Chains A and B, each alone.
Chain A
Amino acid sequence: MNNDDIQQIFFVECEESLAAAEEGLDAFESGTHDDETINAIFRAVHSIKGGAGAFGYIAMQAFTHTFETLLADVREETVEPTAELVGLLLRALDCLRDHVDAAQSGGDTPEDEALLEQLSAAQAANQSNAPTDTAQAEPVANDLDALLDELMAGDTSPPEGGDTKQDGENNWLVQIRPNSGAMQNGNEPFLWLRELADLGGMVQSCELDDLPDLDDMDVDETYLSWTFEMPSSVPRSAVEEIFDFVGELCKLTYDCKEQEVAAVCSVQSKAAERGETSAPEAVNQSVAEAKTAKQPSQSEPKQSKANQSVRIDLSKLDKLIDGVGELVIAQAMLTQRLSNENLTHIEELGMLDTLVRDIQEHAMAFRAQPISSVFSRVPRLLRELSGSTGKHVKLAVSGETTELDKTVIERLSEPLTHLIRNAIDHGIESAEERKEAGKNPEGTLTLSAEQKAGRILIRIADDGKGIDRDVLRNKAIANDVVDADTPMTDEEIYNLVFSPGLSTAKSVSNISGRGVGMDVVRQNVKELGGRITIDSSPGKGTTFTLALPLTLAISDGMIVQVGDQSLVIPLTHVVESLSPETSDLKGMGSKRQLLNVRGQFVPIVSLSKVLGGGGPRATSSKGVLVVVETEGHGCAALLVDAIQDQRQFVIKSLDTHFHAVDSVAGATILGNGRVALIIDVDRVVQTAAAADAVSSPVSALGEAA
């Protein structure tokens, strides 16, 4: 693993730390001021600081240092958790995210001088108000650092003998020797010293033995090494954590012989200065210290807990998923072959089926991530939008632990941002307007996620003014998007929001209103195999619902025969299948036919007609209706010739291998090696309704009866 790889891990961990800090600050903002919440924020910021220092991101390191110093004061309750302070901490977190982004993209570091001043001012205010003087306050902050690092290392046992930094008992030594190359790639060994000092370490000595004459020096070479005396309350793991990202660039030596001597001299001189003990006593004491200094390493908690997770390159994971996909296809082919030999009921085939399904589920779980990684970015977006629009908006989030595929998560961020921007800019009214309408001046944006019927439903709801259907329709007519004479349902009118170039915003802002964005949103969601629907109540608000697939790779489906084609209906849509009696069928006009499903009438859609299926249709006596449920168009009954099988199928994108085809969600390879198209059930039902291509199955099913 090279330095770049390690740096990438640092950025991944930065994301995790930022999310943890955001979560902690949210809790803090809503009144949770307990130690664990503040410690979680502190740990997150401290962790970023460690990496920033190791990789030489000096500005980021300086910023996090000031940030965490204020957090330490908050932890010590010497700073009041006022609304202003919470606001300052949130702004600091936003700025820290900018620092991380800048470091990752190689861009300019953000302007943070003003914020640093504010952070320092908040801290300075603390210092002036604090009951203790500065000299006393500093060790407290350092002890907090030490304590938190101890917590991070999982060692919660309290240090014996009180503040060992004061009495020096059981303190231990570490020598750091930056190696050749430690100053390459922007690394700055000096920052490691600061980290150690922040942990409460004190420099015992700087070794200059290797330093050559000025004439013989190589500026890129390192010649100095330092010996630090660390408080016993600081575990060795806390020091190692500082050097996690450093790798081979620095040699750490613990409690070496030379250091024993150094410690002896150091303690001797300190004791002599204090006049507390005689020199021989000091030597004895220091030798005892040097012996006990090894204790931290012995009592150090085992690292097995930290090793319970492994970071894997995503491309390796994708190869595994591809392999599982091919395994599923191979298994289907084997089943088909055995079926031809009348061997489908052999026990081993059932075992193989179970094993393949287990492997597939586990492999998919590798890629599953909680949606909180997307939701956690929303508070900042809201703060920015509140700042630019002057609207105060409260965020309510639920279901953030819902998991979905990593690819879906990554590609969800953009459409979600568009929808939230629109909700704040156009949905939620200004405080004055809301007061006039008898609403709470503070708007509410609700984000929720849940798993339902094999899909993930994400809702973005605002309690704003809702979509004005008349304005939207008139705008669409004016822009020639629809004809003035076309009768439209509410749903169809709302869907006009997604038409390119159509915006009902009275003014174009830098946030939204140009009519670009919403069509991109729908396109993005569609590319994910998902669907977006709108529900709006005038004066009450608008809800956008995104229905997304759990995974993009493998799904369960019903394989049906339509003409000479095999088609796949995703099982998530299927409610039931039946061969209808004539009495279950009801005509509606000359072309439409409804199916009576236990008293409920659903339209019948002929897949053959909608998809233009070729080849001779099977005899109508084999006609089967598959009742399906859609996201936005209710239930429908798909007329097919026969049901062939029900099994897992591997989704192959048509966009990638061919091009997108209307009403088709993708393709798959069947057990017999043939390609079958996967039906986009929602689109098929919508198309059938819109184009009046609803089947007239009277003849087909009539013959069946």
Chain B
Amino acid sequence: MQEITLPSRCDRMAAAAFYPELNDAVGAPSPLRVDASNVEQIGQAMLQILVAAAQGSDEFEIADPSIEFEDAVRLAKLDEVLNLNKAVS
């Protein structure tokens, strides 16, 4: 199991920095767990790469999402595609 943690501020700059790590993790053979407990703000850039990661991996899960993260994901109607309803907390 791989685990990577999202930063508290997930804006475009953070997405650019986070993208290579996420891409490599999705390509790796073991399941991926993304810790979203620290997220306070999130923007479209980060949501896009998370969705693409979720669609590209069978074993992708969001763990311990913060309220802000959940709120943003539901607002963008991406809760199902990110499997948020089954998120591990």
Contact = CB atoms under 8 A, between A and B. Distances in A.
A338 B42 CA distance: 75
Nearest to B26: A214
B23 A193 contact: no
A58 B40 CA distance: 12
Interface in B32-89: 41-45, 47-49, 51-53, 55-56, 72, 75-78, 81
A205 B80 CA distance: 11
Interface residues of B, number: 27
A224 interface: yes
B76 A217 contact: no
A197 interface: yes
A191 B22 CA distance: 24
Contacts of B16: 219-220
B75 A217 contact: no
A427 interface: no
Given A214-B22, A214-B52, A220 B77 contact: no
B15 to A, nearest CB: 5
B75 A194 contact: yes
A226 B77 contact: yes
Contacts of B72: 190
A223 B48 contact: yes
B77 A183 contact: no
Interface string A187-208: 0111101100100000111101
A386 interface: no
Interface string A221-253: 011101000000000000000000000000000
A212 interface: yes
B52 A219 contact: no
Nearest to A227: B77
Contact of A214 (B12, B23, B45): B23
B53 A214 contact: yes
A183 B78 contact: no
Nearest to B57: A214
Nearest to A189: B44
A224 B53 CA distance: 14
Contacts of A224: 44, 47-48, 51, 76
A197 B75 CA distance: 8
Contacts of A470: none
B49 A219 contact: yes
A623 interface: no
A388 to B, nearest CB: 33
Contacts of A194: 75
A205 B44 CA distance: 15
Interface in A621-654: none
Q: Interface residues of A toward B: which range? A: 20 to 34
Contacts of A276: none
Contacts, number: 77
Nearest to A206: B77
Given A190-B42, A193-B76, A219 B51 contact: no
A208 B77 contact: no
A193 B75 contact: yes
Nearest to B23: A214
B44 A222 contact: yes
Contacts of B12: 183, 188, 219-220
Given A183-B12, A183-B43, A190-B72, A217 B77 contact: no
A217 B48 contact: yes
Contacts of B77: 203-206, 226
Nearest to B18: A219
A178 interface: yes
Given A183-B45, A219-B49, A214 B56 contact: yes
Contacts of A217: 19, 48-49, 52
Contacts of A108: none
Contacts of B47: 190, 224
A511 interface: no
A35 interface: no
A217 B20 CA distance: 11
Given A190-B42, A190-B43, A219-B15, A211 B52 contact: yes
Contacts of B44: 178, 182-183, 188-190, 222, 224
Contacts of A188: 11-12, 43-44
A219 B42 contact: no
A466 to B, nearest CB: 55
Contacts of A193: 75-76
A215 B23 contact: yes
A197 B77 CA distance: 12
Nearest to A187: B12
Nearest to A58: B41
Contacts of B43: 183, 188-191
Given A189-B44, A219-B49, 16 more contacts: A182-B44, A183-B12, A189-B43, A203-B75, A206-B78, A211-B52, A213-B52, A214-B22, A215-B23, A217-B48, A217-B52, A219-B45, A220-B12, A223-B48, A224-B44, A224-B48
8 contacts: A183-B12, A188-B11, A188-B12, A206-B81, A214-B22, A222-B48, A223-B48, A224-B51
Q: Which A-B residue pairs are the 5 nearest by beta carbons?
A: A214-B52, A203-B77, A206-B77, A219-B16, A190-B44
